[in-house]
Homo-oligomer: A and B are copies of this chain.
Amino acid sequence: MNEFTLIQRCFQGWDITHPNVLQSIGDDCLVWSGSQPLVVSADTAVAGRHFPEWASPEQVAQRAFLPAVSDLAAMTATPAFFTLALTLPPATSEDWLTRFALRLRALAETYGIMLAGGDTTAGATLTLTLSVHGTCPHPVLRSGARSGDQIWVTGQLGQSAAALPYILEKREADAPRSWSEAYWNPQPPVLFASQLQGCIHSAIDLSDGLIGDAAHLARASECDLAIHLDRLPLENDLKQREDEGLKLALAGGDDYQLLFTADPVAEREIVALAAQAQVSVTKIGEVQAGKGDIRWYDSGLERQLPWQSFTHF
Contacts and interface: CB of A to CB of B under 8 A. Distances in A.
Contacts of A240: none
Interface in A1-58: 2-4, 6, 22-23, 26-33, 35, 37-50
Interface stretch (A134-142, A174-182, A243-251): A134-142
Contact of A220 (B27, B43, B50, B70): B27
Contact of A35 (B27, B35, B47): B35
Contacts of A122: 46, 49, 312-313
Contacts of A312: 3, 120-122
A29 B74 contact: yes
- Stoichiometry, copies per complex: 2
* Majority-rule SS of A interface residues: strand
Given A6-B313, A83-B40, A28 B125 contact: no
A134 B29 CA distance: 9
Interface string A224-245: 0000000000000000000000
Interface residues of A, number: 68
A60 interface: no
A42 B124 contact: no
Contacts of A70: 28
A44 B121 contact: yes
A192 B3 CA distance: 30
B131 A83 contact: yes
A129 interface: yes
Given A27-B142, A75-B28, A313-B2, A129 B44 contact: yes
B28 A117 contact: no
B124 A28 contact: no
A113 interface: no
A262 interface: no
Contacts of A30: 39-41
A294 interface: no
A127 interface: yes
Given A83-B40, A85-B42, A87-B46, A121 B28 contact: no
A165 interface: no
Contacts of A29: 39-41, 71-72, 74-75, 77, 132, 134, 139
B46 A121 contact: yes
A139 to B, nearest CB: 5
A124 B39 contact: no
A204 interface: yes
